[in-house]
Amino acid sequence: MNAIELNQALQMYVRTETFPVGVSIQKEEAALPSKAKRPVRDLGYPITICQAVGFSRRYGWSIAMNGADLSCPIAQVAFGYEEQPAFYIEGHLACGMYTDSLENGAKSELDVPKFSAEESGYYVSFPLERAEIEPDVVVIYGNAAQVMRLVAGMLYKRGGSIPSTFSSRADCADIAIKPIQTGQPQVIVPCYGDRLFAQTQDHEMAFSFHFRDAAELVEGLVGTQKGGIRYPIPSFLRYQAEFPPTYQKLAGMFGEKN
């Protein structure tokens, strides 16, 4: 299954408001999509990773970036563009904002998935329907019911449940790095930065998975739809409505004529 075929299936079975997005880590500049925008070169300023995904899912743009294009210091560390200084490791970024102490801040930073310098490369995001390269990871933003639909599809041939972790920060690492490193899909609660900088809305969640699982997911979406799990969620309408007393009195008057 290629990216365009996956996109078609997602549009049929999940019907998201924004484009499903492919994410790829490319080692060489020559491998970047020909039409990809480089933030500093083409926009005139660096951006966050979540903004790159936002451009891809809302504008349909392909974005290619490395550390020189990246404005977010946490992502600089997570994606292997910068080493972890003591100031970061000790928890100063989280302390006072997300945690009550440096000790707990350090725990939060330690928990962020990270690429080594060897794993790092150009971060490329693009809408699946315009894929020029094969993604490593696919991320789909939607409402809770749409994410539920994706979870059901992924578990069709696996059973059980999908383990995910939530921290309210650095969701860019959870979206891309964790599926690449673990091979496991992730349910994503978008972080504060994703909402602030990438305009992710209050009702949105996300689901990411390794592209090698695309055919399995689609098979699961087909199978669960046949089993009755579908989106939009059908409403149960087979009941008799109840009306206020004045309405019932009028209905009784209609009956008196018969």
Over residues 211-226, the pLDDT tens digits come to 999 999 999 999 999 9
Whether 251 is in a domain gets the answer no
Q: Supply the range of the domain harboring residue 73.
A: 3-234
For the chain, where are the E strands, in sequence order? 21-26, 63-65, 122-127, 137-142, 186-188, 205-210
| CA gap 242, 248 in Å, rounded | 9
Whether 252 is in a domain gets the answer no
Over residues 82-130, the pLDDT tens digits come to 999 999 999 999 999 999 999 999 999 999 999 999 999 999 999 999 9
Whether 246 is in a domain gets the answer no
Whether 127 is in a domain gets the answer yes
Whether 193 is in a domain gets the answer yes
Query: Within 10 A of 59 (CB to CB), how many other CB atoms are there?
Result: 13
Q: What is the DSSP letter of 36?
A: P
For the residues 70-79, what does the mean pLDDT come to?
A: 96
Whether 255 is in a domain gets the answer no
pLDDT at 255: 75
Beta sheet of 21-26, edge-to-edge order: 63-65, 122-127, 21-26, 137-142, 205-210, 186-188
| CA gap 220, 80 in Å, rounded | 34
Convert 138-178 into a string of H (helix), E (strand) and C (coil).
Answer: EEEEECHHHHHHHHHHHHCCCCCCCCCCCCCCCHHHHHHHH
Whether 243 is in a domain gets the answer no
Whether 239 is in a domain gets the answer no
For the residues 22-44, what does the mean pLDDT come to?
A: 96
Q: What is the pTM of this model?
A: 0.92
Helix (H, G, I), strand (E, B) or coil at 55: helix
Q: Tell me the pLDDT of the chain averaged across its residues.
A: 95
Specify the number of domains making up the chain.
1
